[in-house]
Chains A and B, each alone.
Chain A
Amino acid sequence: MRVAIADDGALFREGLVMLLRAAGHEVVGSVSDGDKLVALVATDPVDVAILDIRMPPEPDGGLATAERVRALRPETGLLLLSHYAETHYLMRVLEIGTEGVGYRLKEKVAGVQVLDDTLTRLASGEIVIEPSLAKRLVERPAGGDGPVGALSEREHDVLRLMAEGRTNNAIAKELFISAKAVEKHIAAIFTKLDLPGDPSVHHRRVLAVLAYLRARRIDG
């Protein structure tokens, strides 16, 4: 896969370049700010662009740059990295696009396998969300009441994996159940949470789940 990286932290950036090469990817460019990345992908298209959220142009250059890259090269996958797992940034990432976008913590892509998995998912148009953030979003409230509290243990696991942006097949593999069983659980979750939209359309379903979970956390 052809990849470009923009991060103003040279130490982390150079490490990631080596890791990408070790994973067999071609690193087309490694730059320190958003403007340079835009110039780079304009002349030399890549499959995935990796961007640090907090880099120049300040204060959130990664998000603004990702928007410009999406407008310039809509087919390029975008992986936004941060030291913070914030639902606010997640929502901003999803405003940039709902296909081939990802938001992960920097330290969580520090292995060849996880990096490979993340890039492959992005290149195939999936949404990739930091699992620890998804986990926080699906946490049951202390009292255990409300619609999320009413989900079965298995449905709760499925909801968490949906919030990570996982496809039916990936959920089935992770939970050692059939794809058919996953579909049934998802239908039950959509009914219990009264979610809008078609659960079979991947990105719509991720958006519906995230919007619901975030509203639940914020509005109580």
Chain B
Amino acid sequence: MNPITRWWRRVRPVRLRPVDPVTCALRRGLERDLNDGPAQRVAALSVELGLLSVDLPDDPALAGRIDQLQGSLDTVLAELREIGGALYPPVLASDGFEPALHAVAERHGVALAVSGGPVDRDTADAACLAVADHLRSVPRDTRLDVRVRRGLGSVWVDITEERQCG
């Protein structure tokens, strides 16, 4: 990598879109609804199809069509998963700020280092969603360095980025 390009990339300012508490709660709720509703129903449908293929007469053509249908349901679930993960990373609810950001980065093929972290749950949610939204917008193979500093009643998130420039 050209050192000058690298330097230029490093100082490029990143503007995060803040996520307010109401939006955080809404996004969290939507992800949960998606998981408990449609995703669960589609997974159950796939199980139904699996059962159907047990009861069917031994017919390779029919078995093949059931396989195809199950494949289509897999695609629907993958798409729902994509939407759910973008709304609210599942790891954020269970494990908090840093593991959630690493999970989002890993999914998108982005390298990430995190230092510091918010203390309370609401700030962690807001900061994580803002950074996660940004992570999804950068090209694969970007390296990001996220630093969280706590101020009086506020949290500062600094991000530096390095891109692989050919």
From known contacts A19-B47, A107-B46, A218-B112, infer whether A84 and B81 are also in contact, taking CB-CB under 8 Å: yes
Interfacial residues of chain A within 14-43, with CB under 8 A of chain B in the complex: 15-16, 18-19, 22
Name the interface residues of A136-192: CB closer than 8 Å to any CB of B. 136, 139, 141-143
The chain B residue with its CB closest to the CB of A53 is B94
How many A-B residue contacts, CB cutoff 8 Å?
Answer: 106
| A12 partner residues in chain B, CB cutoff 8 A | 40, 43-44, 47
Say which residue of A22, A86, A107 sits within 8 Å of B91 (CB atoms).
Answer: A86
Considering only residues 94-110 of chain A, those with a C-beta below 8 Å from chain B are: 105-108, 110
Distance, CA A54 to CA B90, complexed state (A): 9
Q: Are B41 and A112 in contact (CB under 8 A)?
A: no
The size class of the interface chain B forms with chain A is 35 or more
Q: Judging by beta carbons under 8 Å apart, are B111 and A219 in contact?
A: yes
**Beta-carbon contact of A83 and B94 below 8 Å:** no
Give the complex CA separation of A87 and B118 in angstroms. Answer: 23
Give per-residue flags for B77-110: 1 if the beta carbon is below 8 A from chain A beta carbons, else 0.
Answer: 1001100110000110111000100110111011
Q: Which residues of A contact B49 (CB under 8 A)?
A: 110
Within 8 A of A (CB), among B139-156: 140-141, 143
- Given A9-B36, A112-B54: A106 touches B103 (CB 8 Å cut-off): no
- Chain B CB within 10 Å, residue with most, of A12, A19, A22, A139: A12
Contacts of B106 in A (CB 8 A): 87-88, 214, 217-218
For chain B residues 46-62, which have a beta carbon within 8 Å of chain A?
46-51, 53-54
CA distance A48 to B106 in the complex (A): 30
Q: Which A residues lie within 8 Å of B77 (CB)?
A: 83, 105, 107
B164 interface residue (CB < 8 Å to A): yes
The 9 closest A-B pairs by CB, nearest first: A220-B111, A15-B47, A110-B46, A60-B94, A11-B44, A110-B50, A106-B43, A9-B40, A111-B50
Other contacts beyond A88-B99, A112-B50: 4, CB < 8 A: A19-B50, A87-B103, A112-B53, A220-B143
19 A-B pairs with CB atoms under 8 Å apart are A9-B40, A11-B40, A12-B44, A15-B48, A22-B51, A59-B94, A60-B94, A83-B40, A83-B43, A83-B80, A83-B84, A87-B106, A88-B103, A107-B42, A107-B77, A110-B50, A112-B53, A143-B141, A218-B102
